Structure formats: C-alpha cells, structure tokens
Amino acid sequence: MDSSNKKNRAIFTGEPIQLQEQEPVRPSPSHLSRRAFLKGATGVAASALAMDQFAGWCQAVPFREYIPYDASRDAHYGHHFGWIEHHHPSPESSGEKFVFVRLKYPGGDWFTNAVNYYRWPADTKFTEMLARYTSIDVERHDNPQYVSIEEDDIDRLCNYPFIFMTGHLGVRFSDEDTRKLREYLERGGFLHVEDCDIRIDRMRPAIYRLMQRIFPDKKFERLDMSHPIYHTIYDHDEYLGGDKRVAPHGEFDEAIMIDDRIAVYFCPSDLNCAWEGRVCEPDGEEQRRWAFEQGMNVVTYALTH
C-alpha cells in the first residue's frame, strides 16, 4: 500500500499517521527549533474524526450577542457573559509544549473571535481539537493566548514557532514592528494570517502592503492543492475553506516563501470563524470539518518544515 493510501485509510480507521522522518536540523543558536513539540520527535499521529462524533461536538451554534470591546481594560463585556479579559501567555516558553498564540497588532481588530460572540472562543476550541486529534504536545489554557508585536521583543516572539493573526480592518505596523516580524520569519518562525471577512476586502490588501514592506523582493504565491500543507495529516485535494468561500479571492490560499518553506500562510476564507461556530457556506458542516482539519495540517506543517 502506498503512503497516500495509508494516510487515507488512517483518517477513517483511527490508525496513527507517521510523517516521514527527516534528517535532524541543526540550527544556529538564533534559529527557532520547530520540531520540539512533536511527541518523541518522530512525527504526528492523527485520530480519525468520525463524522457523527465530530458533528456532535463541533457544529454551528446560535449567535448570542455582540460583545463590545473596551480598549481601556483590554476586555469585552456582554450581558450574558460579563467581562471577558484577554490574557498573555506565560512570559517564558519552556519549549516543551506547543502554545497556540495570536498576534496583537496596532491598527485593527486583532482580537476578533478570541472571546467569541457564539461562546466558542475560536483559539481555545481549535487548541482542544489539536490536543485531541494529533500527537503534538499542546499546552492548554482556559483563555486565548497572545503576543504583541509592539510590546514584546524578538526573543519573546521567538519562543513561539507558530503565530496566528486575523482581523477585518487592516494593520498599522511601525518600522520597528516590521523589522521584528521579518527577523522572526527569517529565524524560522511561521505566521498564519487570515482575513476575517474577505467580502469587506480591507485585511487582504493591508496584508499585501505589509508583506511588501517586510519582503520587498517577494510576492504572495497561490498555493496549489498538491502542496504538502494540505496533506501533512489530512489529505485535502479540494479547497472547501473556512466559513466564507467567496469568489474571487476567498477560494484559494497564498504564501510567502523563504527558500522552499512557507513562512507566511494567508487564508482568506477564514478558518478561525469556522472554528468559532459560525455558519459555514456553501458546504455547511463538511466545510467546518475541513477547516478544523486544515488548521491541524497547517500547525503540523509549521512544526515540521
């Protein structure tokens, strides 16, 4: 049986999937180690998500209320939920467990979906899925975790080989912010960026401009479905997207490459909103399942390339 058939069979039976072992990377002291979070440093195992089991645990939930943001408290307030504050991760990472962190940045709603209007904090929901269905050694938290491009230095950022970024409105990075992000990426960091609503079309052009400042000699490249980022654990030969698969820009992903690896993964169809519990269109719960699986593919790619 070839490797692709083994992988497909494992998805439905729950058998472990072992990634092909690569020669160990011996980075310089300044380079991020990206494999430390894999249990046993041998690969990633995926448990099958039985469709009925998945649907019962992760399906669309009704909208409860809009929770306005109070910048003075760095918190949201809702009548149903009370004050919901944001939380920094612990100041130092041991490197022994993977922490899903998002990027706090100036100029936009970096916090969107972090506390969840549907009462599924998207980040913590996805973290739970990652812990349940892969062998990545995941550090779980009750609250969303973040780092700040303005407030944290490069050494703090480099505690985390994977950083997530989303929003609707745009970004406003200083020259120092762009310098830090470039250094983070060049040292082996991985940035997963999403446009929380491609129909508004403000985040996508803002990210294009930001990356042009960071890497003037690079452009976003459209990712083909044959790329390994769609096949690290789950084989995805068709693009279903997050909760909004909208033409013309929300039907494919793009990437900034450094050498032969993805350094910046840009997903305009919004996996994060699918994780949150919003209605997924046009393919419903099958699309949500794809979004969770693709999120796991992306994290696994980030830790193994």
User: What residues contact residue 136 under an 8 Å CB cut-off, 6+ apart?
Assistant: 37, 38, 39, 44, 98, 130, 299, 300, 303
Amino acid at 263: A
For 131-140, the pLDDT digits (tens) are 998 989 999 8
Mean pLDDT value of segment 8-29:
35
For 84-130, the pLDDT digits (tens) are 555 555 544 555 789 999 999 998 888 777 655 444 578 888 999 99
Please state the domain extents for the chain.
3-304
- 196 against 40, higher pLDDT: 196
Between the ranges 80-84, 136-140, 233-237, 281-285, where is the mean pLDDT highest? 233-237
Mean pLDDT value of segment 228-235:
96
Cα(61)–Cα(94) distance, integer angstroms: 36
Helix (H, G, I), strand (E, B) or coil at 259: coil
- Residue 109: predicted pLDDT: 82
- 242 against 179, higher pLDDT: 179
* CATH number listed for the domain at residues 3-304: 3.40.50.12140
- Residue 248: predicted pLDDT: 76
- Residue 166: predicted pLDDT: 93
User: Is the pTM of the predicted complex or chain greater than 0.75?
Assistant: yes
Q: Is the pLDDT of residue 5 over 80?
A: no
Mean pLDDT value of segment 25-51:
48
- 284 against 262, higher pLDDT: 262
Specify the pairing of strand 261-267 against strand 190-194: parallel
For 183-212, the pLDDT digits (tens) are 999 999 999 999 988 888 889 999 999 999
